[in-house]
Amino acid sequence: MSHFKTILLQVVICTYLFPLVCAQLSQPIFSDENIDTRGNKFLSRSVGDLRQPKEREEIDLFACPVNVELSWMTEVSSSVYSTPLITDLFSDGAKEIIVPSFVHYLETLEAADGAVASGWPAFHKSSTHASPLLTDIDYDGVQDISIATYDGEVLFFKDNGEEIPDRLYVPRLSVRKNWFKGLNPDHVDHSHPDVNDPNIGAEAALQDAKLRQARVHGVPAPTPAARKRRSSDVQEGAAKEEADQLAAPEQGPNNSSKTQEKPPEDAKGGSQEPADKGAEPGGGSRDQEPSGGSGADSKAGRRPQEEAEPKQPGQAEDAPKPSGTLPAVAAEEPESGLESGSNSSTTVSQQRRRLLDVTAASAENKAELDPEAEESFDVFKDTGDYEEQHLEPDYMDDGHMHDFPYDDDDYYMPFDDESKRRRWGKDFDDMDDMDDFWDDEDFMEGPHGNSPTHVMVDPHILCTPTIADLDGDGHDEMIISVSYFYDREHYDHSDHKMELGDDIDIANYVASGIVVYELHSRTIKWSQHLDLSTDFTKYRAYIYSSPTVADIDRDGSLEIIVGTSVGFLYVLDSKGEPREGWPVQMGEIQGQPLVADVNGDGFLEIFVGDTRGNSALFNYKGHELWERHVGGIIAQMATAGDINGDGELEIVFGTGSGDIHAVNGKTGQEVPNFPFRTGGRVMAPVLIVKLLEGTRAQHLVVSSFDGLLYMVDGLTGCADTIDVGETSYAMVLADDLNGNGRLDLVLSTMNGNVYRFETAAPYHPMKVWSSEKQGRNNFVARYGIEGVFATTASRVPRDVRGQNVNIRFEIVDNRPPALAPPASPGEEQKSLRGPYSVSVTLQGVGVEEMNMGDQPVIGMVDTYTAPGVYELSIPCPRTRSTATISIEMTDESKVLFTDSFSLSFHMHFYRLLKWMLILPFAMMAAIVLALPSGNEAVLPSYALRTHDA
């Protein structure tokens, strides 16, 4: 008997408690009712700033000129959605701009004149939403370019445009096929807590036993879908055929069920059914209702799902945190633009179906129609308007969705440890077989290998990865935010849909997660799945946010901060586990979280904005420091800097309503003369850079959807503009592109154009903003605040000879002092600023060249306790070469600051050889000319012979 009890206990644990280990961090979401918005101030708000942007006539285009002129413009192959990268790719002292075209091409332009670099562009058979990154993936000493693609791969290219065979393949996600069963509008058993319930396993087993007994001994009442199937079974042959033909237009190409249950009524009595089932995101429909979702069986069917999903981690009782992290009924959620228009859209859908019925009847009568007449019925077909009907007004009115061709993402779950790559039945070590996976120029998904109980969901990368040494083992990791979903366009093809099976509704599988790769072994180190949802809810589990890494609690290891479209802001440790106090929930988070010490307390804070117009600042424990509602959607990351010279950091971001906000980092209040209103939506990060000398203010540079490039004075709010006539989602970059000592600006647009503008601002290394993120995690304008740079004498272009080169650099830290509280009374307070770890390395030099020396060292590392000017000596290459000197500094929170410049080594040795050849002849000639001359002098040998005679 005891043995039987032991086996039963093991079965209960494996069945009901094991999913707690494998489940995603948040509760799964099947519909909007699965999110409890009661008490969550962020979710109770919607986009409220519905003011029209300024008209062109209302904008003073040249109020405060900053002397900016167009230098050149170059057109690339397609739209530029992500921010380019400026770097000295060939280590020759000339800058290049690496441009990620949206479709198929990675391009490199010479920064001086915009010409295409030799060997470029590089072709790939996908599209990209990510910016390029630099890393030495093959460890040959030369930096390579990595780019993450939409189809879940990370590609690497050499500096000559050649693709490196090694790739990173994000594996598909294994998801339970019926994970959504039981998630009806009220799926929570309120009689028991979600965690710490001693009867949780036994209660679930008992409920499951009752459910099985009811199915054996009793016949449950038929559901509406069952009654519909039963009535269709008694129809006669001709009538059944006619019914099938009339029902066919309702199903759409990707529907997996021919039955439909009436959706629950909302608070106003309107149907929550989507406007047009054939137009659901993800290519599926909401017709299929999970069994157990209604009637007496629904509660019993819900219990295992409840137990399988853990409570949100780290709910600190003393933290003023927003609620809404546990799934429950949304009692009185305010109506927003996402919900508006449901009744009218349903009416339109019914009208479309009636018109399609007429078309089907005509087909039955076999009426002969010419092609033009047949095409006239296309106006009644599904046009895919579901997305726009369920978006907030600020998205719909200005055509925002047309700028996001891939707005649908899916869910992420644990991968099989034994499959380190996506296995399609091919050997990826044989690169010759890769052509089998492509059809012309389009990426083709391989076989999925779905099981009867699980489906394999495709991975997609919709943002830029981050490269950092998470655990301090000396090897870099690549942290990737992954969205899992079935691409609607791909599975519209009948062959691709057939592969998944007729019972799969692709709109039921949307997820997000984090995958971490070890770059030196190119294998997955760990993965963590975050959210799971369907494509029917407005809390869809996409992830557009790049991961931010920083040591927010100063424990010596890096944390990962990332936001998701469900609205969760996660903080994970270096092993992927959630930190205490996290996540917190806001509205949909699309921009990368900003991490910086914006209030001067010595610790990093986390700022994030959402698409409901909320902005908030949290400390490292997850406690809210301040929040404010700005009205317009915040779709991009924020930046920070002292824009008005008051000695405090301001947080700067743009909104979909056309405003540029600048708020005080300590209080969250707008600084004087802000927000600045533009004539269109601001959908790009804001560059903070000093364009005028003699003033304490810095300028905010950003493009707007009115076609203007704005340069706004941070002190006066006065702006200068350039009429580009194009829109952009990419950040404006700043660097000296031709070495003339002046700062240049780089703008890339959705029309596929790249512009370079010359400014009159003098160049300084700490003014440079060469990528969207400075280093790996710095979002603060460094000039005059914090950073490191090489002195002018060290960075001057020259040819270096000898065995070592001395590099002088300066550490700058003008942040306000921050002191730690004394550990005991009378103890002296310690500064929270510093220490500063600095490394000086050679990049762009091959391993063979460095191994020629007695001590093959490519750099030096040292730690300093205070700002100042220091010097490090590093070995030189032993052969003729050029190299980039890279200086990296991390502060007490492991925020990375960088500076780089290029030098040549032993390149002009022939000048010395020239003198070595000429100098001996010159010396001999000088000696001969110096000898005394006289005609009376007799040669000694001749005189001797005369005397003998």
Tokens 């991390």: give the residue: 890
Report how far residue 163's alpha carbon sits from residue 111's, in angstroms, rounded to the nearest whole number.
Answer: 22
Do residues 876 and 798 lie in contact, with contact meaning Cβ atoms separated by under 8 Å? no
Distance (Å) of CA 636 to CA 61, 423, 586, 627: 25, 35, 15, 17
Alpha helix segments (H runs only) across 380-419: 386-389, 393-396
Among 50-59, 519-528, 812-821, 869-878, the least confident range: 50-59
Report the range out of 172-181, 407-416, 616-625 with the highest average pLDDT.
616-625
The answer on pLDDT for 558 being more than 90 is: yes
Alpha helix segments (H runs only) across 86-223: 200-217
Report how far residue 50's alpha carbon sits from residue 53's, in angstroms, rounded to the nearest whole number.
Answer: 9
**What are the beta bridge partners of residue 616?**
608, 627
Q: Which fold has domain 786-820+832-909?
A: Immunoglobulin-like (2.60.40)
List, for residues 97-150, the tens digit of each pLDDT value: 999 999 999 999 999 999 999 999 999 989 999 999 999 998 888 899 999 999
Report how far residue 396's alpha carbon sits from residue 242's, in angstroms, rounded to the nearest whole number.
Answer: 39
The answer on pLDDT for 287 being more than 70 is: no
Residue 249, amino acid? P
**What are the beta bridge partners of residue 708?**
723
The answer on pLDDT for 6 being more than 80 is: no
Do residues 569 and 535 lie in contact, with contact meaning Cβ atoms separated by under 8 Å? no
Report how far residue 33's alpha carbon sits from residue 17's, in angstroms, rounded to the nearest whole number.
Answer: 25
Annotated domain spans of the chain: 186-197+253-304+338-353+367-382, 786-820+832-909, 913-948
Closest C-alpha to 184, from 336, 310, 303: 303
Do residues 849 and 879 lie in contact, with contact meaning Cβ atoms separated by under 8 Å? yes
List, for residues 307-364, the tens digit of each pLDDT value: 333 333 334 434 444 444 333 333 333 333 333 333 443 443 344 333 334 333 333 3
Q: Is 159 helix (H, G, I), strand (E, B) or coil?
A: coil
Report how far residue 362's alpha carbon sits from residue 878's, in angstroms, rounded to the nearest whole number.
Answer: 83
**What are the beta bridge partners of residue 710?**
702, 721
Q: Return mean pLDDT, the chain.
A: 75
Report how far residue 56's alpha carbon sits from residue 561's, in angstroms, rounded to the nearest whole number.
Answer: 39
Report how far residue 522's alpha carbon sits from residue 526's, in angstroms, rounded to the nearest whole number.
Answer: 12
Among 81-85, 167-171, 945-949, the least confident range: 945-949
For residues 527-531, average pLDDT = 93
Extract the tokens encoding 455.
Answer: 């489906």
Q: What percent of the chain has pLDDT over 70?
A: 62
Do residues 200 and 189 lie in contact, with contact meaning Cβ atoms separated by under 8 Å? no
Report how far residue 635's alpha carbon sits from residue 653's, in angstroms, rounded to the nearest whole number.
Answer: 9
pLDDT score of 280: 37
Contacts of residue 92, Cβ cutoff 8 Å, sequence gap at least 6: 882, 902
Report how far residue 799's alpha carbon sits from residue 797's, in angstroms, rounded to the nearest whole number.
Answer: 7
pLDDT score of 199: 52
The answer on pLDDT for 548 being more than 60 is: yes
Contacts of residue 259, Cβ cutoff 8 Å, sequence gap at least 6: 225, 228, 229, 287, 288
Q: What percent of the chain has pLDDT over 90?
A: 48
The answer on pLDDT for 906 being more than 50 is: yes
pLDDT score of 598: 95
Report how far residue 307's alpha carbon sits from residue 208's, in angstroms, rounded to the nearest whole number.
Answer: 12
388-392: long-range contacts (C-beta < 8 A, 24 or more apart)? 389/274, 389/275, 389/341, 389/342, 389/345, 390/274, 390/338, 390/339, 390/538, 391/337, 391/338, 392/46, 392/47, 392/336, 392/337, 392/338, 392/611, 392/612, 392/633
pLDDT score of 50: 52
Report how far residue 65's alpha carbon sits from residue 359's, in angstroms, rounded to the nearest whole number.
Answer: 62
Residue 420, amino acid? K
pLDDT score of 568: 94
List, for residues 806-844, the tens digit of each pLDDT value: 999 999 999 999 888 887 787 888 889 989 999 999 888
Cα-based torsion angle of the residue sequence 370, 371, 377, 378 in order, rounded to the nearest 10 degrees? 180
- Bigger pLDDT: 427 or 775? 775
Report how far residue 897's alpha carbon sits from residue 891's, in angstroms, rounded to the nearest whole number.
Answer: 8
DSSP labels, 770-792: -SSSBTTTB-B--TTTEEEEE-H
pLDDT score of 501: 82
Tokens 């203007």: give the residue: 708
Report how far residue 147's alpha carbon sits from residue 908's, in angstroms, rounded to the nearest whole number.
Answer: 36
pLDDT score of 390: 43
Extract the tokens encoding 11.
Answer: 């079965």
Residue 941, amino acid? S
Q: 227: which DSSP letter?
A: H
Report how far residue 39's alpha carbon sits from residue 315's, in angstroms, rounded to the nearest whole number.
Answer: 15
The whole-model pTM stands at 0.70
Burial bucket for residue 197 (CB in 10 Å: 0-12, 13-18, 19+): middle
Q: Within 13 Å, how many C-alpha atoms sit on residue 350's CB side?
A: 8
List, for residues 728-780, the tens digit of each pLDDT value: 999 999 999 999 999 999 999 999 999 999 999 999 999 999 999 888 899 99
